[in-house]
Structure 1
Amino acid sequence: MELREFFSEDAIQLELAGTTKDDILKELIGLLRLPEKDEATLFKMLKRRENLGSTGMGRGIAIPHCRSMVVSKLRVAFGRKKAGVDFKALDDKPVHFFFLIVAPPLEVSNQYLPVLGKIAQFSKEGDVPEKLMSLSDPKQFMELLAAKGV
C-alpha cells in the first residue's frame, strides 16, 4: 500500500484561505466534494475528535482524522497554509500542513490506521516540511510522495 494511491490532485489545496482551525477543517472537508449535509456531519465528527486532543503533531503538521458514515471508502486530502494557523499543536507552533483522513466506521480493507501511520512517518522525515512548503502545484505533491517511496 502506498499513500499516493489515496490522494488525487483535486483533493490537494496549496493555498488554504482559512485563518482558524474551524476554517481549515471546513476547507479540507470541501476538498472531498461531499454533499453539504455530509460536510456538516463530518465537521462535527472532526471537531469532536479535535476536542479529545489536537491532531497537530508538531513540526507544522496536523493530521485531522475520524471515522464517519458519510464516506463509503477511505478518503484523504492535503492542504497547506503558508502563514500557518494555531491548531493547538503539541509543540504550540503554527500548523502549515494538513493531512485529512476520513474512513467509514467499518472498512474491509482496514487501511485507516496504516494510512495514518504512513502519513505520520512521512511527516517525521527531516526535509519534508521544507519540501511541502516549496510545492507550487498538486502534481509536485504527488511527485514528493513518489520520491519518498510512500
Structure 2
Amino acid sequence: MELREFFSEDAVALELQGTSKDEILKELIGLLKLDEKSEGMLFKMLKRRENLGSTGIGRGIAIPHCRSLVVNRLRVAFGRKKDGVDFKAIDDKPVNFFFLIVAPPLEVSNQYLPVLGKIAQFSKEGDVPTRLLELTSPAQFMALLEEKRV
C-alpha cells in the first residue's frame, strides 16, 4: 500500500484561501465533493475531533481526520496555505500543510490508521515541508508521493 494510491489530483489544493481553522477545514471537506448535508456533518465530526486535541503535528503540518458515515470508503485530500494558519499545533507554530483523512466507521480494508501513519511518516522526512512549499501543481504533489514511496 502506498499513499499515492489514495490521493487524486482533484483533491489537492495548493492555494487554500481560509484564514481560520474552521475555514480551512471547510475548504478541505469541499475537495471531497460531497453533498451539502454530508459536508455539514463531516465538518461537525472534524470539529469534535479537533476539540479533543489539535491534529497539528508540528513542522507546519496538520492531519485532520475522523470516521464518518458520509463516506463509503477511505477518502483523503491535501491542502496548502503558504502563509500558514493558527491550527493550535503542538509546536504552537502556524500550519501550512493539511492532510485530510475521512473513513467510514466500519472499514473492511482497515486502511484508516495505516494511511494516517504513512502521512505522519512522510511528513517527518527532512525535506518534505520545503518540497511541499515549492509545489506548483497537483501533479507535482503526486510525483513527490511517488518519489518518497511511502
After TM superposition, the score normalised by the length of structure 1 is 1.00
**Residue aligning to 1:104:** 104
**Residue aligning to 1:35:** 35
**Residue aligning to 1:123:** 123
After TM superposition, the score normalised by the length of structure 2 is 1.00
Q: Distance in 2 between matches of 1:30 and 1:78?
A: 11
The percentage of counterpart residues that share the same residue type is 81
1:82 aligns with 2:82: yes
Q: Distance in 2 between matches of 1:148 and 1:3?
A: 9
Matches within 5 A, 1:1-150: 1-150=1-150
User: Any unmatched runs of 5+ in structure 2?
Assistant: none
The alignment covers a number of residue pairs equal to: 150
Q: Distance in 1 between matches of 2:69 and 2:149?
A: 31
Q: Distance in 1 between matches of 2:32 and 2:130?
A: 26
Question: Runs of 4 or more off by more than 3 Å in structure 1?
Answer: none
Q: Distance in 2 between matches of 1:47 and 1:69?
A: 16
Instruction: Report deviation, 1:41.
Output: 0.1
Equivalent residue letter for 2:9 = E
Instruction: Report deviation, 1:64.
Output: 0.1
Q: Distance in 1 between matches of 2:5 and 2:35?
A: 23
Instruction: Report deviation, 1:92.
Output: 0.1
Instruction: Report deviation, 1:67.
Output: 0.0
Instruction: Report deviation, 1:130.
Output: 0.1
Let me know the Cα RMSD of the aligned residues.
0.3
Instruction: Report deviation, 1:80.
Output: 0.0
